[in-house]
Structure 1
Amino acid sequence: MSANDVIAQDELNGYLQEMPHWRKIPGAIAAVFETKTSAAAIELFSDIAGAAELDNHHPNVDWRYNKVFVTTTSHDAGGQLTTRDIALASKISERATSLGAKPRVDLISAVEIAIDTDNPEEIAQQWAAGLGYTTLQDGSLADPNGRGPAIWFQKTATPNANRLHLDVWVPNSASGPVLKNLQDVRTHADAQEAPSFTVITDAQGNRFCICTEADR
């Protein structure tokens, strides 16, 4: 299997404009489909497995009652996205549509742990060894089994005293209600980097970021 079909970011954006069910998250593209019954979700799960076997390209699939959460990336290309991911995602959307499944873009999300550091290389392998993670081409760490949160090293000359924070990824199209909910519970929002990310600070000074695929 070749890893020479990696998609550049501009090219990926073009593909995603024609794929309304899918959004970019760190290291993958993702979709969520909701069916009328649990049995229909199992049928969709089975169809996705069949498509994956035919393409010899296997996504991560999480079945939760009547919802199916899917992500796909190319591990042989260092966790980058390739045309194989686009082809498989298109087939999955076709099968979901044929089964009457409802796309739930608003449920697409991912959480990664971000570490402020002025020297990512000094600590990356220590974290990889402790977690059993692999290093991706962008320097982040990923669970090879697709279960644990990604680790992102945010390089900065002046690391914050609270060096660890969560990056909560949501589609830009669904970020408005999330930010409104945070406003309603009186968090502080620093939106100077929005829509790429908005820094949220709680009442005790703990931070997390609401991140989107826009302007990354």
Structure 2
Amino acid sequence: MAAKDVLTRDQINAELAALPDWRFRLGGLAAALKCPTSAAALDLFAAIGALAQEANHHPDVDWRYDTLFVTLTSHDAGSKVTARDAALAKAISTAAREVGAVAHPELLRSVEIALDSADFAAVAPVWAAALGYKAGESDDLRDPSGRLPTLWFQQTETPNANRFHFDIHVPASEAQGVLAELAAAGATLDRSSEPAFVIATDPQGNKLCICTEEGRDA
């Protein structure tokens, strides 16, 4: 397999079986690596930078005190997972163990904002101009720097009165714990589309979706 070959979902799952630190998230591989100290996190950050330079393949790394949030995707392959991503993930995990870092997949959460619209092409330019976003997939807008949440348009002839909702992406391994917390907090859960997503409604009727990587292609 060539390094730039896009992996199928079955191939990604096979790679993840040997990558316990990592999860498949929104077209990439992601890990949250908690280090013993902030200094150790900086050492790991430097090690990741060196590995990235050596591989000529550069992940997104967000340093938060003693924790690094790392995302690997191949932008030149359409922001999909390739063999390069799996290889670099293995190398990063090795470097993480050397500094005593521990993976915390429960910290891996990301948010997409969904907007109901009967004609999203009519409103998308307004949101793109306001946010400085660019077109991503056919029905969404994305921050070119990858810092802000994706805005996607849910095509519907009958928009909800509350047109916005959050899609909160969590690893499938952590989803049941999150759903239990939501139920305990008073949310009503619609599990009809589980495991891909569960619709949660708060006591005032506001909706959100807890989404996982299950039931989605690569």
* TM-score, L = length of structure 1: 0.89
- Give per-residue Cα distances to partners, 1:5-24, cap 9 Å, x unaligned: 22222322222222111112
1 CA distance for matches of 2:119 and 2:159? 10
Per the alignment, residue 203 of structure 2 pairs with 203
Per the alignment, residue 108 of structure 1 pairs with 108
Runs of 4+ in structure 1 displaced over 6 angstroms? none
1:33 paired with 2:51, answer: no
2 CA distance for matches of 1:25 and 1:35? 22
User: Residues 118, 24 of structure 1: CA spacing in aligned structure 2 closer, same or farther, 3 A cutoff?
Assistant: farther
Alignment of 1:74-153 (within 5 A): 74-137=74-137, 139-153=139-153
2 CA distance for matches of 1:95 and 1:63? 16
Per the alignment, residue 193 of structure 1 pairs with 193
2 CA distance for matches of 1:193 and 1:18? 29
Which secondary structure state, in structure 1, belongs to the residue aligned with residue 57 of structure 2? coil
Which secondary structure state, in structure 2, belongs to the residue aligned with residue 205 of structure 1? coil
Letter in 2 for 1:206: N
- Give per-residue Cα distances to partners, 1:135-164, cap 9 Å, x unaligned: 334643322212101122333443323221
Report the number of matched residues.
Answer: 215
Deviation at residue 121 of structure 1 after TM alignment = 4.1
Larger deviation, residues 11-20 vs 46-55: 11-20
Larger deviation, residues 27-36 vs 129-138: 129-138
1 CA distance for matches of 2:14 and 2:134? 29
Deviation at residue 66 of structure 1 after TM alignment = 1.1
* TM-score, L = length of structure 2: 0.89
1 CA distance for matches of 2:132 and 2:14? 35
- In structure 2, the gaps of 5 or more residues are none
- In structure 1, the gaps of 5 or more residues are none
- Aligned CA RMSD, in angstroms, stands at 2.1
Query: In the alignment, is the contact (CA less than 8 A) between 2:31 and 2:105 conserved in 1?
Result: yes
Per the alignment, residue 171 of structure 1 pairs with 171
Larger deviation, residues 116-125 vs 70-79: 116-125
- Give per-residue Cα distances to partners, 1:119-147, cap 9 Å, x unaligned: 44444444334322233346433222121
Per the alignment, residue 13 of structure 2 pairs with 13
1 CA distance for matches of 2:174 and 2:68? 18
Larger deviation, residues 7-16 vs 122-131: 122-131
Deviation at residue 181 of structure 1 after TM alignment = 1.1
Which secondary structure state, in structure 2, belongs to the residue aligned with residue 68 of structure 1? strand
Which secondary structure state, in structure 1, belongs to the residue aligned with residue 36 of structure 2? coil
Deviation at residue 79 of structure 1 after TM alignment = 2.1
Letter in 2 for 1:16: L
- Give per-residue Cα distances to partners, 1:54-95, cap 9 Å, x unaligned: 112111111111111111212222322222222221211111
Q: Percent identity?
A: 47
2 CA distance for matches of 1:9 and 1:67? 28
